[in-house]
Amino acid sequence: MWDFSTDTAFQEKLDWAAGFVQEEIEPLDVLFPGNAEPYDRGTEVFRDIVRPLQRQVRGQRLWAAHLPPSLGGMGMGQVHLGLLNEILGRSAWAPMVFGTQAPDSGNAEILAHYGTEEQRKAYLEPLLDGRIVSTFAMTEPSGGADPGGFTCRAVRDGDEWVIDGEKWFASHYPLAAFVIAMVVTDPDKPVHQGASMILVPAGTPGMEMVRGTGLAGEPLGQGVHAYLRFTGCRVPAENLLGEPGAGFRIAQTRLGGGRLHHAMRSVGQCRRALEMMTERVASRRTRGGPLADQQSVRHQLADSWIQIEQFRLQVLHAAWQMDRAERTGDSADARRARLHVSGVKAATPGILVDVAYRALHLHGALGVSNELGLARMWQSGPTLGVADGPTEAHQDVVARLLLKDAVPAEDPLFGSAHLPTRLAAARAKYADRLKETAVPR
């Protein structure tokens, strides 16, 4: 059955979350706008403000909603998670308050499935409780996100793995209690079969930060996205997560849902920009009349609303595809879900850039100033274009999956839609039922 409604009980949860984010969390974005501040567990802000807010979220049974009940979550499906993340996208602090911040949410899933009992006690429990943060190190400075260019290696030496190489843009490393790193463990195999994941505790000798990198607009040297170097870095053999060579399979279990969550949070950001745009158009006057009287301005408002609604439905449909694949376990459903998730990932940067730019432009000089958050919102579009795999990689996934089911035309010159060929076939099909004069020439 086709249905675009939300059940009453869950809608009540969403309504509570929307009011809670707007009233209690969005003020934190203004007070503490730094990119690192939501992740710093050693501050009075976290102890005195964030922890009480987290307790309220737990009281509503919305804490870490992406995790199964066995790990203290709600075990929500992707559609419900999408609707919740649409609300959380309005605030940089909201995912932290709700226990869904990246990369901790994905790292928790990895540890839950592949960590030892000791690792779960030391890292998973405090991670789930929000007392520590973590880092996921996959991208490399030379190969970027191209797995074929990965050179960071781990070699087994008795009861230890020895890691050598570099990682790039390892987010929140200076604040993290541990790193989960993708490393090549068998260079003789294709990288998708020869790469593994290893847990490296903070402070392990041989793991150092070359420098911190920030986003555009942050002072040089003050960013929390680390350029990491491993030099003879030794960790126990049991720190290998999962089987040797299973790194990319493990990564996909954390990245698929994360891409949808980023997309729905982008919807939340775009809706905030639309609110600001609508308020601006309704309030301002120019050239002797209301800004709302200018047709080109109204078109920008309309185009933004249409684009947001189209994208929102695309994301929720992809979430529904993931839920169905999880429910059926069918490989065809899983492949279809992958197609839709990659399509969403490829579309996400564009909508943020388009909508944020229109809002920024209609605010004039105020829009590009540091007195509004629109320029920062616009920047998040290009940022998501390279996060979780570059846009082009997902465009390629979409095209490859479409071509996998494509059937070549019997006539390679003119194809199956060639009108003269179809007309001849139609004449032959209905020749005994149509008069000669009724058949088109």
| Coil, helix or strand at residue 332 | helix
Sequence-ordered list of residues with C-beta below 8 angstroms from that of 263, at least 6 positions apart, any chain = 82, 311, 315, 318, 344, 345, 347, 348
Residue 301 domain flag: yes
Contact in structure between 241 and 115 (CB atoms under 8 Å): yes
Q: Are residue 334 and residue 440 in the same domain, yes or no?
A: no
Q: Is residue 106 part of a domain?
A: yes
Residues 303 and 437 in one domain: no
- The residue segments making up the domain with residue 82 are 8-115
Q: How far apart are CA 150 and CA 172, in angstroms?
A: 21
Kindly state whether residues 306 and 357 are assigned to the same domain. yes
Which residues have CB under 8 Å from 21's CB, separation 6+?
A: 87, 88, 90, 91, 94
Selection from 335, 308, 309, 306 nearest residue 322 by Cα: 335
> 104 and 138, same structural domain?
no
Q: Take residue 223 and report the two structure tokens written for it.
A: 């960013």
pLDDT for 426: 92
Q: What is the pLDDT of residues 114-172, one digit of tens each?
A: 999 999 999 999 998 888 999 999 999 987 777 888 999 999 999 999 999 999 999 99
Q: What is the CATH number of the domain that holds 94?
A: 1.10.540.10
**Full DSSP string of 137-192:** E--BTTTBT-GGG---EEEEETTEEEEEEEEEEEETGGG-SEEEEEEES-TTS-HH
Q: How far is CA 137 from CA 98, 256, 362, 394, 408, in A?
A: 23, 17, 39, 20, 42
Report which of 81, 12, 26 is spatially closest to residue 265, judged by C-alpha positions: 81
Retrieve residue 141's tokens. Answer: 């400075």
Taking the model in full, what pTM does it have? 0.88
Q: Number of folded domains in the chain? A: 4
Quick check: is 126 in a domain? no
- Pair (266, 297) in one structural domain: yes
What is the three-class DSSP state of 235?
Answer: strand
Same domain, residue pair 256 and 400: yes
Separation CA 323–CA 375 (nearest Å): 35
Residue 304 sits in a domain of what CATH number?
1.20.140.10
Contact 111, 104 (CB under 8 A): no
Q: Cα–Cα distance between 245 and 196 in angstroms, integer?
A: 5
In a domain, 1, yes or no: no
Residue 414 bridge partners (DSSP): none
What token pair was written down for 193?
A: 């079969």
- Same domain assignment for residues 257 and 400: yes
Quote the CA–CA distance of 34 and 110 in Å, as a whole number: 28
Q: Which residue has the tokens 């942050």?
A: 218
Does residue 122 lie within any of the structural domains? no
Q: Which two tokens stand for residue 244?
A: 């040797």
Domain shared by 310 and 414, yes or no: no
3-state secondary structure 301-368: HHHHHHHHHHHHHHHHHHHHHHHHHHHHCCHHHHHHHHHHHHHHHHHHHHHHHHHHHHHHHHCCHHHH
**pLDDT tens per residue across all 441 residues of the chain:** 678 889 999 999 999 999 999 999 999 999 988 777 788 887 888 889 999 999 999 999 999 888 888 777 788 899 999 999 999 999 999 999 999 888 898 898 899 889 999 999 999 999 988 889 999 999 999 877 778 889 999 999 999 999 999 999 999 999 999 999 999 999 999 988 999 999 999 999 999 999 988 887 788 877 889 999 999 999 999 999 999 999 988 887 667 778 888 999 999 999 999 999 999 999 998 888 899 999 999 999 999 999 999 999 999 999 999 999 989 999 999 999 999 999 999 999 999 999 999 999 999 999 999 899 999 999 989 988 888 778 898 999 999 999 998 999 999 999 999 999 999 999 999 988 887 656 666
Q: How far apart are CA 130 and CA 54, in angstroms?
A: 9
Let me know whether 145 and 52 are in one domain. Answer: no
What are the C-alpha distances in Å from 237 to residues 159, 197, 198, 203, 231? 5, 12, 9, 17, 17
Residue 2 lies in a domain: no
Q: Give the count of alpha carbons within 13 A of 116, CB side only.
A: 10
233 and 254 share one domain = no
**What's the farthest any 2 CA atoms get from each other in the chain?**
89
CATH of the domain at 209: 2.40.110.10
| C-alpha span between 119 and 199 (Å, rounded) | 9
